[in-house]
Structure 1
Protein backbone atom coordinates (compact mmCIF):
# COMPACT_ATOMS: atom_id res chain seq x y z
CA UNK A 1 0.00 0.00 0.00
CA UNK A 2 1.51 3.30 -1.12
CA UNK A 3 2.58 5.71 1.60
CA UNK A 4 1.71 9.40 1.56
CA UNK A 5 3.88 12.40 2.48
CA UNK A 6 2.25 14.00 5.52
CA UNK A 7 2.96 17.49 6.81
CA UNK A 8 0.90 17.03 9.98
CA UNK A 9 -2.06 15.19 11.47
CA UNK A 10 -3.95 16.24 14.59
CA UNK A 11 -7.30 16.23 16.40
CA UNK A 12 -9.32 19.45 16.62
CA UNK A 13 -12.64 20.72 15.32
CA UNK A 14 -13.65 22.02 11.93
CA UNK A 15 -13.45 25.81 11.96
CA UNK A 16 -14.99 26.54 8.56
CA UNK A 17 -18.00 25.88 6.39
CA UNK A 18 -21.14 23.82 6.85
CA UNK A 19 -19.48 21.46 9.35
CA UNK A 20 -18.09 24.22 11.56
CA UNK A 21 -17.78 23.14 15.18
CA UNK A 22 -17.74 19.39 14.53
CA UNK A 23 -14.85 17.37 15.91
CA UNK A 24 -12.38 16.51 13.19
CA UNK A 25 -9.13 14.66 12.71
CA UNK A 26 -7.07 16.59 10.18
CA UNK A 27 -4.61 14.95 7.80
CA UNK A 28 -2.56 17.59 6.00
CA UNK A 29 -0.63 16.21 3.04
CA UNK A 30 2.68 17.62 1.91
CA UNK A 31 3.18 19.32 -1.45
CA UNK A 32 1.37 21.98 -3.45
CA UNK A 33 2.05 23.24 -6.99
CA UNK A 34 -0.56 26.04 -6.72
CA UNK A 35 1.56 28.25 -4.43
CA UNK A 36 -0.77 31.07 -3.44
CA UNK A 37 1.08 34.24 -2.37
CA UNK A 38 -1.09 34.46 0.76
CA UNK A 39 -0.92 30.74 1.65
CA UNK A 40 -1.38 30.08 5.37
CA UNK A 41 0.19 26.62 5.18
CA UNK A 42 3.42 27.51 3.42
CA UNK A 43 5.27 24.76 5.26
CA UNK A 44 3.65 22.28 2.89
CA UNK A 45 5.54 23.61 -0.14
CA UNK A 46 7.59 26.80 0.35
CA UNK A 47 11.35 26.03 0.30
CA UNK A 48 12.03 28.49 3.12
CA UNK A 49 9.50 26.90 5.48
CA UNK A 50 9.42 23.16 4.76
CA UNK A 51 10.05 21.22 8.01
CA UNK A 52 12.98 18.83 8.07
CA UNK A 53 10.95 15.94 9.48
CA UNK A 54 8.34 15.32 6.78
CA UNK A 55 7.46 11.63 6.91
CA UNK A 56 5.69 9.20 4.61
CA UNK A 57 2.89 7.32 6.33
CA UNK A 58 0.70 4.45 5.27
CA UNK A 59 -3.07 4.83 4.85
CA UNK A 60 -3.58 2.15 7.52
CA UNK A 61 -1.42 4.04 10.00
CA UNK A 62 -3.29 7.29 9.32
CA UNK A 63 -6.67 5.60 9.60
CA UNK A 64 -5.72 3.97 12.91
CA UNK A 65 -4.58 7.33 14.28
CA UNK A 66 -7.86 8.90 13.18
CA UNK A 67 -10.26 6.32 14.58
CA UNK A 68 -8.72 6.51 18.07
CA UNK A 69 -10.26 9.96 18.49
CA UNK A 70 -13.76 8.99 17.29
CA UNK A 71 -14.10 12.25 15.29
CA UNK A 72 -17.25 13.39 13.54
CA UNK A 73 -15.17 13.45 10.36
CA UNK A 74 -11.65 13.16 8.98
CA UNK A 75 -10.57 16.15 6.92
CA UNK A 76 -7.91 15.57 4.26
CA UNK A 77 -6.32 18.86 3.32
CA UNK A 78 -2.98 20.34 2.32
CA UNK A 79 -1.05 21.76 0.64
CA UNK A 80 -3.03 20.34 -2.23
CA UNK A 81 -4.19 16.84 -1.31
CA UNK A 82 -5.53 16.03 -4.78
CA UNK A 83 -2.03 15.74 -6.23
CA UNK A 84 -1.94 12.40 -4.39
CA UNK A 85 -3.94 9.24 -5.02
CA UNK A 86 -6.08 9.13 -1.87
CA UNK A 87 -8.03 6.00 -2.78
CA UNK A 88 -6.30 3.70 -0.28
CA UNK A 89 -6.60 6.30 2.48
CA UNK A 90 -10.31 6.93 1.96
CA UNK A 91 -10.92 3.18 1.81
CA UNK A 92 -9.06 2.62 5.08
CA UNK A 93 -10.99 5.42 6.77
CA UNK A 94 -14.36 4.19 5.52
CA UNK A 95 -13.56 0.64 6.66
CA UNK A 96 -13.33 2.08 10.16
CA UNK A 97 -16.68 3.83 9.86
CA UNK A 98 -15.30 7.34 9.48
CA UNK A 99 -16.71 10.14 7.32
CA UNK A 100 -14.13 11.53 4.92
CA UNK A 101 -14.03 15.20 3.91
CA UNK A 102 -11.70 16.75 1.34
CA UNK A 103 -10.52 20.36 1.11
CA UNK A 104 -9.01 21.13 -2.29
CA UNK A 105 -8.39 23.90 -4.80
CA UNK A 106 -10.18 21.71 -7.30
CA UNK A 107 -7.38 22.08 -9.84
CA UNK A 108 -6.57 18.35 -10.03
CA UNK A 109 -8.65 15.19 -10.60
CA UNK A 110 -9.98 13.71 -7.37
CA UNK A 111 -8.79 10.21 -6.53
CA UNK A 112 -10.72 8.63 -3.68
CA UNK A 113 -14.21 8.27 -2.23
CA UNK A 114 -15.28 11.38 -0.32
CA UNK A 115 -18.39 12.08 1.75
CA UNK A 116 -17.94 15.85 1.49
CA UNK A 117 -15.89 17.99 -0.87
CA UNK A 118 -14.95 21.61 -0.27
CA UNK A 119 -13.52 23.40 -3.29
CA UNK A 120 -11.64 26.64 -2.66
CA UNK A 121 -10.71 27.90 -6.15
CA UNK A 122 -7.44 29.71 -6.76
CA UNK A 123 -6.47 32.03 -9.62
CA UNK A 124 -2.98 30.51 -9.72
CA UNK A 125 -4.45 27.26 -11.12
CA UNK A 126 -8.12 27.27 -12.00
CA UNK A 127 -10.42 24.49 -10.77
CA UNK A 128 -11.63 21.73 -13.06
CA UNK A 129 -15.29 21.91 -14.03
CA UNK A 130 -15.84 18.33 -12.84
CA UNK A 131 -14.70 19.32 -9.35
CA UNK A 132 -16.88 22.43 -9.21
CA UNK A 133 -19.85 20.26 -10.16
CA UNK A 134 -18.88 17.73 -7.49
CA UNK A 135 -18.38 20.32 -4.73
CA UNK A 136 -20.67 20.20 -1.70
CA UNK A 137 -19.50 23.69 -0.80
CA UNK A 138 -17.33 26.35 -2.40
CA UNK A 139 -15.04 28.58 -0.37
CA UNK A 140 -14.02 31.82 -2.03
CA UNK A 141 -11.01 33.60 -0.54
CA UNK A 142 -11.64 37.34 -0.66
CA UNK A 143 -8.23 38.97 -1.11
CA UNK A 144 -9.45 42.27 -2.63
CA UNK A 145 -12.70 44.19 -2.69
CA UNK A 146 -13.51 42.89 -6.18
CA UNK A 147 -12.65 39.23 -5.53
CA UNK A 148 -16.24 38.09 -5.13
CA UNK A 149 -17.42 39.68 -8.35
CA UNK A 150 -14.49 38.20 -10.28
CA UNK A 151 -15.11 34.71 -8.96
CA UNK A 152 -18.83 35.01 -9.50
CA UNK A 153 -18.18 35.79 -13.14
CA UNK A 154 -15.66 32.98 -13.49
CA UNK A 155 -17.70 30.16 -11.92
CA UNK A 156 -21.25 31.54 -11.95
CA UNK A 157 -22.77 28.57 -13.77
CA UNK A 158 -21.58 26.23 -11.00
CA UNK A 159 -23.11 28.30 -8.22
CA UNK A 160 -26.57 26.83 -7.80
CA UNK A 161 -27.72 25.39 -4.47
CA UNK A 162 -24.17 24.73 -3.30
CA UNK A 163 -23.10 26.63 -0.20
CA UNK A 164 -20.73 29.41 -1.23
CA UNK A 165 -18.63 30.81 1.59
CA UNK A 166 -16.94 34.20 1.41
CA UNK A 167 -13.80 34.17 3.56
CA UNK A 168 -11.57 37.17 4.12
CA UNK A 169 -7.96 36.28 3.31
CA UNK A 170 -6.58 35.84 6.81
CA UNK A 171 -3.91 38.54 6.68
CA UNK A 172 -6.64 40.99 5.61
CA UNK A 173 -9.32 39.88 8.06
CA UNK A 174 -9.44 43.38 9.61
CA UNK A 175 -9.44 45.29 6.32
CA UNK A 176 -12.69 47.33 6.24
CA UNK A 177 -12.95 47.20 2.44
CA UNK A 178 -12.66 43.39 2.41
CA UNK A 179 -15.21 42.92 5.16
CA UNK A 180 -17.58 45.44 3.62
CA UNK A 181 -17.43 43.72 0.23
CA UNK A 182 -18.43 40.43 1.86
CA UNK A 183 -21.22 42.01 3.88
CA UNK A 184 -22.66 43.93 0.97
CA UNK A 185 -22.52 40.94 -1.37
CA UNK A 186 -24.32 38.70 1.13
CA UNK A 187 -26.99 41.33 1.69
CA UNK A 188 -27.49 41.96 -2.01
CA UNK A 189 -27.46 38.34 -3.23
CA UNK A 190 -28.45 36.15 -0.32
CA UNK A 191 -28.32 32.38 -0.60
CA UNK A 192 -26.18 30.50 -1.50
CA UNK A 193 -23.61 33.17 -0.57
CA UNK A 194 -22.67 33.27 3.11
CA UNK A 195 -19.97 35.22 4.97
CA UNK A 196 -17.38 32.85 6.40
CA UNK A 197 -14.47 32.86 8.80
CA UNK A 198 -11.70 30.64 10.14
CA UNK A 199 -13.18 30.37 13.59
CA UNK A 200 -10.67 27.79 14.86
CA UNK A 201 -7.92 30.41 14.64
CA UNK A 202 -9.66 32.60 17.20
CA UNK A 203 -9.68 29.65 19.60
CA UNK A 204 -6.14 28.52 18.71
CA UNK A 205 -7.85 25.15 18.62
CA UNK A 206 -5.42 23.30 16.35
CA UNK A 207 -2.40 24.17 18.46
CA UNK A 208 -3.90 22.44 21.51
CA UNK A 209 -2.79 19.20 19.88
CA UNK A 210 1.01 19.02 20.08
CA UNK A 211 1.14 17.23 16.72
CA UNK A 212 -0.13 20.37 14.97
CA UNK A 213 2.50 22.66 13.47
CA UNK A 214 2.44 26.44 13.59
CA UNK A 215 1.69 27.09 9.94
CA UNK A 216 3.45 29.95 8.20
CA UNK A 217 1.14 32.60 6.69
CA UNK A 218 2.68 34.36 3.70
CA UNK A 219 0.02 37.07 3.75
CA UNK A 220 0.69 38.10 0.15
CA UNK A 221 4.19 39.34 1.00
CA UNK A 222 6.32 38.67 -2.07
CA UNK A 223 9.47 39.50 -0.05
CA UNK A 224 9.06 36.21 1.77
CA UNK A 225 10.54 34.45 -1.24
CA UNK A 226 7.46 33.21 -3.08
Structure 2
Protein backbone atom coordinates (compact mmCIF):
# COMPACT_ATOMS: atom_id res chain seq x y z
CA UNK A 1 0.00 0.00 0.00
CA UNK A 2 1.30 3.45 -0.99
CA UNK A 3 2.51 5.57 1.91
CA UNK A 4 2.51 9.38 1.87
CA UNK A 5 4.91 11.63 3.76
CA UNK A 6 2.80 14.73 4.41
CA UNK A 7 3.82 17.81 6.37
CA UNK A 8 0.48 19.62 6.22
CA UNK A 9 -2.76 20.05 4.29
CA UNK A 10 -4.33 23.49 4.53
CA UNK A 11 -6.56 26.00 2.79
CA UNK A 12 -5.02 29.33 1.79
CA UNK A 13 -4.93 32.00 -0.87
CA UNK A 14 -2.09 31.60 -3.37
CA UNK A 15 0.50 34.17 -2.35
CA UNK A 16 2.93 34.19 -5.27
CA UNK A 17 3.32 33.67 -8.99
CA UNK A 18 0.78 34.19 -11.75
CA UNK A 19 -2.12 32.76 -9.74
CA UNK A 20 -1.68 35.10 -6.77
CA UNK A 21 -5.02 35.60 -5.05
CA UNK A 22 -6.55 32.24 -6.02
CA UNK A 23 -8.09 30.08 -3.28
CA UNK A 24 -6.40 26.68 -3.08
CA UNK A 25 -5.80 23.71 -0.85
CA UNK A 26 -2.11 23.01 -0.36
CA UNK A 27 -0.83 19.47 0.12
CA UNK A 28 2.69 19.85 1.47
CA UNK A 29 4.99 16.83 1.22
CA UNK A 30 7.62 16.29 3.90
CA UNK A 31 11.18 15.73 2.70
CA UNK A 32 13.58 17.69 0.51
CA UNK A 33 17.23 17.23 -0.44
CA UNK A 34 17.62 20.38 -2.59
CA UNK A 35 19.07 22.50 0.23
CA UNK A 36 18.40 26.12 -0.77
CA UNK A 37 20.32 28.46 1.52
CA UNK A 38 17.44 30.94 1.75
CA UNK A 39 14.65 28.36 2.04
CA UNK A 40 11.65 29.58 4.04
CA UNK A 41 10.45 26.02 4.78
CA UNK A 42 13.46 24.23 6.25
CA UNK A 43 11.11 22.35 8.57
CA UNK A 44 10.08 20.32 5.50
CA UNK A 45 13.57 18.99 4.71
CA UNK A 46 13.62 15.85 6.87
CA UNK A 47 12.01 12.68 5.54
CA UNK A 48 11.38 11.47 9.09
CA UNK A 49 7.63 11.66 9.56
CA UNK A 50 4.84 9.18 10.20
CA UNK A 51 3.33 8.22 6.81
CA UNK A 52 -0.35 8.65 6.12
CA UNK A 53 -2.85 7.12 3.70
CA UNK A 54 -4.54 8.48 0.61
CA UNK A 55 -7.89 8.14 2.38
CA UNK A 56 -6.71 10.41 5.20
CA UNK A 57 -5.34 12.92 2.70
CA UNK A 58 -8.61 13.02 0.77
CA UNK A 59 -10.66 13.42 3.94
CA UNK A 60 -8.56 16.46 4.89
CA UNK A 61 -8.67 17.86 1.33
CA UNK A 62 -12.47 17.66 1.36
CA UNK A 63 -12.60 19.40 4.73
CA UNK A 64 -10.25 22.20 3.69
CA UNK A 65 -11.89 22.66 0.26
CA UNK A 66 -15.40 22.96 1.70
CA UNK A 67 -16.34 19.62 0.12
CA UNK A 68 -14.79 20.50 -3.21
CA UNK A 69 -16.05 24.08 -3.59
CA UNK A 70 -12.39 25.08 -3.83
CA UNK A 71 -11.24 22.90 -6.71
CA UNK A 72 -7.57 23.84 -7.10
CA UNK A 73 -4.98 21.78 -5.24
CA UNK A 74 -1.33 22.83 -5.05
CA UNK A 75 1.12 20.00 -4.40
CA UNK A 76 4.16 21.47 -2.69
CA UNK A 77 6.91 20.62 -0.24
CA UNK A 78 9.54 19.91 0.66
CA UNK A 79 10.31 18.61 -2.78
CA UNK A 80 7.37 16.62 -4.16
CA UNK A 81 9.54 15.53 -7.10
CA UNK A 82 12.19 13.85 -4.98
CA UNK A 83 12.42 10.20 -6.10
CA UNK A 84 11.10 9.06 -2.71
CA UNK A 85 7.89 11.02 -3.34
CA UNK A 86 7.29 10.42 -7.04
CA UNK A 87 5.22 7.20 -6.76
CA UNK A 88 3.05 8.85 -4.09
CA UNK A 89 2.61 12.04 -6.10
CA UNK A 90 1.67 10.10 -9.23
CA UNK A 91 -0.93 8.06 -7.33
CA UNK A 92 -2.31 11.09 -5.48
CA UNK A 93 -2.50 13.19 -8.64
CA UNK A 94 -4.47 10.55 -10.52
CA UNK A 95 -6.78 10.07 -7.54
CA UNK A 96 -7.50 13.79 -7.11
CA UNK A 97 -8.03 14.31 -10.84
CA UNK A 98 -10.59 11.49 -10.84
CA UNK A 99 -12.38 13.37 -8.04
CA UNK A 100 -12.62 16.49 -10.21
CA UNK A 101 -9.85 18.63 -8.73
CA UNK A 102 -7.40 20.74 -10.73
CA UNK A 103 -3.75 20.35 -9.82
CA UNK A 104 -0.68 22.57 -9.67
CA UNK A 105 2.74 21.43 -8.50
CA UNK A 106 5.51 23.54 -7.00
CA UNK A 107 8.61 22.06 -8.65
CA UNK A 108 12.04 22.80 -7.20
CA UNK A 109 13.73 23.21 -10.57
CA UNK A 110 16.03 20.22 -10.23
CA UNK A 111 14.18 17.67 -12.37
CA UNK A 112 11.41 17.25 -14.92
CA UNK A 113 9.33 14.17 -14.11
CA UNK A 114 7.04 13.36 -17.02
CA UNK A 115 5.05 10.70 -15.19
CA UNK A 116 4.02 13.40 -12.69
CA UNK A 117 3.67 16.37 -15.04
CA UNK A 118 1.38 14.61 -17.51
CA UNK A 119 -1.28 14.29 -14.77
CA UNK A 120 -1.24 17.98 -13.83
CA UNK A 121 -3.05 21.10 -14.97
CA UNK A 122 -0.15 23.43 -14.21
CA UNK A 123 3.53 23.39 -13.26
CA UNK A 124 5.24 26.10 -11.23
CA UNK A 125 8.94 25.53 -11.88
CA UNK A 126 11.86 27.22 -10.13
CA UNK A 127 14.94 28.74 -11.72
CA UNK A 128 17.40 28.59 -8.83
CA UNK A 129 19.48 31.76 -8.48
CA UNK A 130 22.98 32.17 -6.95
CA UNK A 131 21.62 33.24 -3.55
CA UNK A 132 19.96 29.82 -3.16
CA UNK A 133 23.23 27.94 -3.52
CA UNK A 134 21.52 25.62 -6.02
CA UNK A 135 21.56 25.60 -9.83
CA UNK A 136 18.84 24.78 -12.36
CA UNK A 137 19.99 23.30 -15.67
CA UNK A 138 18.61 25.33 -18.56
CA UNK A 139 18.06 22.08 -20.46
CA UNK A 140 15.21 21.35 -18.05
CA UNK A 141 13.50 24.63 -18.92
CA UNK A 142 13.98 23.93 -22.61
CA UNK A 143 12.27 20.58 -22.09
CA UNK A 144 9.37 22.26 -20.28
CA UNK A 145 8.94 24.78 -23.08
CA UNK A 146 8.96 22.04 -25.71
CA UNK A 147 6.72 19.52 -23.94
CA UNK A 148 4.46 21.58 -21.66
CA UNK A 149 3.79 24.77 -23.59
CA UNK A 150 1.04 26.83 -21.97
CA UNK A 151 1.12 24.67 -18.86
CA UNK A 152 3.89 26.18 -16.74
CA UNK A 153 5.39 29.28 -15.21
CA UNK A 154 9.01 29.87 -14.26
CA UNK A 155 9.77 31.51 -10.91
CA UNK A 156 13.08 32.95 -9.70
CA UNK A 157 13.73 34.27 -6.18
CA UNK A 158 15.78 37.47 -6.41
CA UNK A 159 17.82 38.57 -3.40
CA UNK A 160 20.22 41.01 -5.08
CA UNK A 161 21.62 42.34 -8.35
CA UNK A 162 23.69 39.18 -8.85
CA UNK A 163 20.50 37.10 -8.84
CA UNK A 164 18.84 39.46 -11.30
CA UNK A 165 21.79 39.45 -13.69
CA UNK A 166 21.99 35.65 -13.52
CA UNK A 167 18.28 35.35 -14.34
CA UNK A 168 18.55 37.84 -17.18
CA UNK A 169 21.48 35.84 -18.56
CA UNK A 170 19.39 32.67 -18.43
CA UNK A 171 16.59 34.49 -20.24
CA UNK A 172 18.96 35.57 -23.02
CA UNK A 173 20.36 32.04 -23.40
CA UNK A 174 16.86 30.60 -23.66
CA UNK A 175 15.98 33.20 -26.28
CA UNK A 176 18.90 31.89 -28.31
CA UNK A 177 17.88 28.24 -27.99
CA UNK A 178 14.08 28.55 -28.05
CA UNK A 179 13.34 31.80 -29.81
CA UNK A 180 10.97 34.29 -28.14
CA UNK A 181 10.33 33.44 -24.48
CA UNK A 182 6.54 33.45 -24.29
CA UNK A 183 5.91 31.60 -21.03
CA UNK A 184 5.28 33.52 -17.77
CA UNK A 185 8.57 34.22 -15.97
CA UNK A 186 8.12 35.61 -12.48
CA UNK A 187 10.70 37.34 -10.31
CA UNK A 188 9.92 36.89 -6.62
CA UNK A 189 11.74 39.43 -4.43
CA UNK A 190 13.34 37.50 -1.58
CA UNK A 191 11.55 38.00 1.76
CA UNK A 192 13.63 36.21 4.39
CA UNK A 193 12.19 34.64 7.56
CA UNK A 194 12.19 37.18 10.44
CA UNK A 195 12.92 40.01 7.98
CA UNK A 196 10.94 43.24 7.88
CA UNK A 197 9.28 44.00 4.55
CA UNK A 198 12.22 44.63 2.15
CA UNK A 199 10.74 47.61 0.32
CA UNK A 200 13.98 48.80 -1.28
CA UNK A 201 14.65 45.33 -2.68
CA UNK A 202 11.22 45.34 -4.32
CA UNK A 203 11.80 48.80 -5.78
CA UNK A 204 15.24 47.88 -7.10
CA UNK A 205 14.04 44.69 -8.79
CA UNK A 206 11.17 46.50 -10.48
CA UNK A 207 13.55 49.17 -11.78
CA UNK A 208 16.13 46.64 -13.03
CA UNK A 209 13.36 44.80 -14.87
CA UNK A 210 12.00 47.99 -16.41
CA UNK A 211 15.46 49.03 -17.61
CA UNK A 212 15.68 45.74 -19.55
CA UNK A 213 12.30 46.33 -21.18
CA UNK A 214 10.27 44.34 -18.65
CA UNK A 215 10.93 40.75 -19.75
CA UNK A 216 9.74 39.46 -16.36
CA UNK A 217 6.74 39.81 -14.08
CA UNK A 218 7.73 41.08 -10.62
CA UNK A 219 5.33 39.53 -8.11
CA UNK A 220 5.96 39.52 -4.36
CA UNK A 221 4.76 37.00 -1.78
CA UNK A 222 1.39 38.36 -0.70
CA UNK A 223 0.99 35.98 2.23
CA UNK A 224 4.16 37.37 3.81
CA UNK A 225 2.89 40.95 3.49
CA UNK A 226 -0.30 39.96 5.30
CA UNK A 227 0.94 37.52 7.94
CA UNK A 228 4.66 38.27 8.18
CA UNK A 229 7.57 36.23 6.89
CA UNK A 230 7.46 33.54 9.60
CA UNK A 231 3.81 32.45 9.59
CA UNK A 232 3.26 28.92 8.25
CA UNK A 233 0.32 27.35 6.42
CA UNK A 234 -1.12 30.62 5.13
TM over 0.5: yes
TM (norm. structure 2) is: 0.76
More contact order relative to length (CA 8 Å, sep ≥ 6) = 1
1:187-220 Cα offsets, whole Å, 9 max, x none, are 2345551111110122339x99xxx669xxxxxx
1:57 aligned to 48, 52, 56, which one?
52
RMSD: 2.8
| Correspondences of 1:148-163 after superposition (within 5 Å) | 148-156=164-172, 157=174, 160-163=181-184
* Residue 73 of structure 1: aligned partner: 72
* TM-score, reference length from structure 1: 0.78
Residue pair 1:163, 1:192 contacting (<8 A) in 2 also? no
In structure 1, stretches of 5+ residues that fail to align are 215-226
1:93 to 86, 92, 96: 96
Per the alignment, residue 136 of structure 1 pairs with 152
Distance in 2, Cα, partners of 1:91 & 1:3 = 15
Q: Which moved more, 1:94-103 or 1:133-142?
A: 133-142
Secondary structure of the 1:147 match is helix
Match of 1:198 in 2: 221
Contact residue 22 and residue 72 of structure 1 kept, 8 A: no
- For structure 2, list consecutive stretches of 5 or more residues without a partner in the other structure: none
- The number of equivalent residue pairs is 205
- Secondary structure of 1:24's match? strand
Q: 1:117 to 1:191 in 2, by over 3 A?
A: farther
The 2-side partners of 1:175 and 1:20 are apart by 19
Q: What corresponds to 1:217 in structure 2?
A: none
Equivalent pair of 2:71/2:100 in contact (CA under 8 Å):
no
Aligned counterpart for 2:189 among listed residues 168, 188, 213 = 168
Per the alignment, residue 223 of structure 1 pairs with none
Whole-Å separation in 2 of the counterparts to 1:116 and 1:197: 20
Is the counterpart of residue 122 in structure 1 residue 117 in structure 2? no
